[in-house]
Amino acid sequence: MSAHAQPRIAIYGAGSIGGYLGGRLHEHARVTLIGRHRVIDTLRLCGLSWSDLEGHKQHIPAKSLDLQLNPFAAAKAHLVLVTVKSSATEDVARELAEVAAPGVPIISLQNGLHNTELLRAALPRHPVLAGMVPFNVVQHTRGHFHQGSSGALMVEPHPSLAPFLPIFAAAGLPLTQRQDMLAVQVGKLLLNLNNAVNALSNLPLREELSQRIWRRCLAMAQREALAVFAAAGIRPAKLTPLPPNWLPRVLELPDAVFRRLAARLLSIDPLARSSMWEDLDTGRPTEVDAINGEIVRLAHDYGVRAPVNERLVSLLHEAERARRAWRAKQLLDELSAAQ
């Protein structure tokens, strides 16, 4: 990469996160979006729009986008961002191993705990870095990616990132480098346990979290996860102003108290929903196995139980087959009975 040329950034996975990041980076780098027919066809028809909860927005016409179906499009990239679902990581790793130039850094910006390991195993000639996206992105309309909550990207530090840090900062996506990325990923996993509750509630995130009975469902899942992390000797990073161990107790506060506290802790757009809700709404498989299922696997490995998260996994798989409208009291009773 020459000193004056815009870098080439390939984003493998043009879904909600990948599409949003691609839109933000578009003016600052030569971005290639690699995705499946369904997504790429939509972007070719509608172009790409992005917006955020602070009111920033932009539309990029389809003719200005580099939209690709073939992973070979990553061959000239100076940086690769992997934003596919966890279930697709092994396939993407094999494909990138065949096309990515040696030494090109690859950042996993995915949910779950093991994607970086899978990518590193297949890509030994590359710096493969763990990353984390703290904010929620949902598609309001076809090709329109909206950031609905706050937070800054985090990534494992590496010298190869130096040329890209100013680019991400200029795009409004500053990369916070963290030495403790496993703890960060575990902290994000703890917060992501709400994805399943939100998907089953069929409500916007702010509305769901404003009701104590839904929050009690999340508190049960988080309290169980914290016990599993303790058994595994893992300490989640503090990703909110509150220590992770405080979260279940705060969630169980009365609505009026919680709303006042939450308003100071986290900005959430009124229309924001979880990616798991979006998957159910569009008839796609969810990532529940990489989120709540990870708690169940860890519990099994360390000889403890995780019945609440195990039940949430089952309920999401049932919802993938036949969507059901849950009421808060029904779900709370269902999870309480599982304990």
Domain boundary among 133, 149, 179: 179
Q: Report residue 79: phi and psi, to 5°.
A: -155, 140
d(Cα 308, Cα 334) in Å, to the nearest integer?
Answer: 9
* CATH number of 293's domain: 1.10.1040.10
Q: What is the pLDDT of residue 140?
A: 78
Question: Is 308 found in the same domain as 268?
Answer: yes
Q: Which residues of 192-211 are buried (b: 16+ CB within 10 A; e: fewer)?
A: bbbbbbbbbbbbbbbbbbbe
Residues of the chain with pLDDT under 50: none
Q: Are residues 162 and 195 in the same domain?
A: no
Domain final residue pick, 159, 179, 199: 179
Task: Give me the pLDDT at residue 266, please.
Answer: 67
Choose among 129, 199, 122: nearest CA to 157.
129
Q: What is the CATH number of the domain that holds 39?
A: 3.40.50.720
pLDDT tens digit sequence for 108-150: 999 999 999 999 999 999 999 999 999 989 887 889 999 988 8
Are residues 172 and 263 both part of a single domain?
no
Say if residue 167 is in the same domain as residue 271. Answer: no
Look-up of token digits 């396939």: 91
Q: What integer pLDDT is reported at residue 261 of this predicted model? A: 83
Q: What is the pLDDT of residues 151-187, one digit of tens each?
A: 899 999 999 999 999 999 999 999 999 999 999 999 9
On whether both 219 and 322 belong to a single domain, the answer is yes
Instruction: Looking at the structure, tell me whether residues 161 and 197 fall in a common domain.
Output: no
Please indicate, yes or no, whether residues 98 and 14 belong to a single structural domain of this protein.
Answer: yes
Instruction: Please indicate, yes or no, whether residues 154 and 282 belong to a single structural domain of this protein.
Output: no
Contact 128, 35 (CB under 8 A): no
Which run of H or of E encompasses 318?
helix 307-321
Whole-angstrom Cα distance, residue 7 to residue 26? 11
| CA pair distance 231, 337, nearest whole angstrom | 23
pLDDT of residue 267: 73
Backbone angles phi, psi at 326, to 5 degrees: -90, 140
pLDDT of residue 3: 52
169 and 81 share a domain? yes
E strand residue ranges, the chain? 8-12, 30-34, 48-52, 57-60, 66-68, 79-82, 106-108, 128-132, 137-141, 144-147, 153-155, 175-177
Sheet holding 175-177: strands in order across?
A: 66-68, 30-34, 8-12, 79-82, 106-108, 128-132, 153-155, 175-177
Residue 3 falls within a domain, yes or no? no
Residues 172, 199 within the same domain: no
Point out which residues pair with 57 in neighbouring strands. Answer: 51
* Domains contained in the chain, number: 2
Domain presence at residue 1: no
Is 71 domain-assigned? yes
Q: What is the pLDDT of residue 264?
A: 66
Instruction: From 179, 214, 232, give the residue that closes a domain.
Output: 179
Show the domain range for 153: 8-179
Q: Do 250 and 160 fall into the same domain? A: no
The torsion angles phi and psi of 163, rounded to 5 degrees, stand at -70, -20
Look at residue 150 in the predicted model and tell me its pLDDT.
87
CA atoms of 236 and 241, how far apart (whole Å): 13
Looking at the fold, whether 148 and 193 belong to one and the same domain comes out as no
Residue 141 has what pLDDT? 86
